[in-house]
Amino acid sequence: MTIIGDLGEKAAISRLLETFDPDGNSGIGDDCALVDMGREYLLATCDMVNQETHIPEGTRGWLVGWYVTAINLSDIASMGGFPLGLLFAMGLPKDMDAEYLDDIARGMEDCCQAYGARVLGGDTKENPTITITGTAFGLVGKKDVMLRKGARPGDIVFLTGQLGNQLGWYKSGAEQDIESLLKVEPRIREGQILSQSGAVTSCIDLSDGLSTSIHHLRKASDAGFELEMEKIPFISGLSDEDKERCLHLGGEFELLFTSDPSKAQGLMASGLGGLKLTAIGRVMDDSTVHIVVDNNSQALEDMGYEHFRER
């Protein structure tokens, strides 16, 4: 008997796709599903959080609600969409404080309002631990949608924001660092600017870490990538060891994308609404992923977070 723990998350997903999309023609596998609505696509995505794997002890309910909403909206952002709303399904312990539930609801509502969406409703059931699934919907014009596939040799690789903001909690586990971990800011406005720029050839968010995300782009686009360590924007004060860890750390939720080099300069000049935008590498004409560190090129392995694996 093969157990899921032997497979890991990626292999488990591959087994599911053998049933749901055996021919690879259903469009499953991007950050959101696409539903043809004429001149637009309806974007649909779902993501789950669980008390044991996502919610550190001592987390206030408002942050839980914000987090489950924001990580779903991040998928809408990565495809350039305008968010519409969020459905939820909650599994809750029967002995949970009712005020904690109120706080979760306020966090969900506040996050939706911050990004122009609304809570559409949902379902609640009894469960031994807090488990919440969000399903977000959005709209994007067909000519504007950003996909994981599309990167071409010679394209420039860009990253929004900085890496390392969540590192404090992973290193210390301290309660004061929980907010930096869970107060995710989905790049909704930035994704819309990018999608309408006509410069982006592929895009993904960093929910699973930079190394995993770049490998997702490699697989989808059938192209190679070369990144430069010295160009990757990290928060200040990190050691070389910290920076190496940040390459694989999940939960960053920045946008990683590629751009036509002839349009990259204009993209940089646009300022992207004031958010830091950095060119960190280029697309190659092979099928490998490398990173240049101290003038030495080395393979960048897919070492991002993966459920079911030993940690």
CA atoms lying within 13 Å on the CB side of residue 211: 19
Mean pLDDT of 270-296: 91
**Portion of the chain with pLDDT greater than 70, in percent:** 95
DSSP secondary structure, 15-41, as one string: HHHHHH-TTS-S-TTSSSEEEE-SSEE
Contact 67, 179 (CB under 8 A): no
**Assigned token pair, 132:** 């919440």
* pLDDT the model gives residue 126: 98
* pLDDT the model gives residue 24: 64
Q: pLDDT band at 35, cuts 50/70/90?
A: very high
Q: Is residue 310 part of a domain?
A: no
Q: How many domains, the chain?
A: 2
Nearby residues of 59 by Cβ (< 8 Å), 6 or more positions away: 178, 182
* pLDDT the model gives residue 98: 98
Q: Is residue 93 part of a domain?
A: yes
**What CA–CA distance (Å, rounded) separates 148 from 221?**
7
* pLDDT the model gives residue 6: 79
Contact 65, 134 (CB under 8 A): no
End-to-end Cα, the chain, rounded Å: 22
* pLDDT the model gives residue 174: 64
Q: Is residue 261 part of a domain?
A: yes
Nearby residues of 82 by Cβ (< 8 Å), 6 or more positions away: 76, 116, 138, 139, 140, 188, 192
Residue 258 has pLDDT above 70, yes or no: yes
- Tens of pLDDT, residues 161-188: 999 988 877 766 666 688 888 999 999 9
Nearby residues of 190 by Cβ (< 8 Å), 6 or more positions away: 77, 160, 255, 272, 273, 275
* pLDDT the model gives residue 49: 96
Q: Is residue 311 part of a domain?
A: no
Residues 173 and 259 reside in one and the same domain: yes
CATH of the domain at 250: 3.90.650.10
Residues 170 and 127 reside in one and the same domain: no
Contact 267, 199 (CB under 8 A): yes
Contact 30, 217 (CB under 8 A): no
Tell me the pairing of strands 289-293 and 224-228: parallel
Any idea what the Cα angle at residue 72 is, between residues 69 and 76, rounded to 5°? 125
CATH of the domain at 97: 3.30.1330.10
Q: Among residues 141, 176, 205, which one ends one of the domains?
A: 141
**Portion of the chain with pLDDT greater than 90, in percent:** 74
Residue 311 has pLDDT above 60, yes or no: no
What integer best gives the mean pLDDT of the chain?
A: 91
The SS3 assignment for 109 reads helix
Q: pLDDT band at 29, cuts 50/70/90?
A: confident
Write out the residue range of the structural domain in which residue 114 sits. 31-141
Residue 31 has pLDDT above 70, yes or no: yes
Judged by average pLDDT, the poorest of 16-20, 112-116, 178-182, 298-302 is: 16-20
Contact 279, 268 (CB under 8 A): yes
Nearby residues of 281 by Cβ (< 8 Å), 6 or more positions away: 156, 157, 225, 226, 227, 228, 231, 291
Mean pLDDT of 91-119: 98
* pLDDT the model gives residue 99: 98
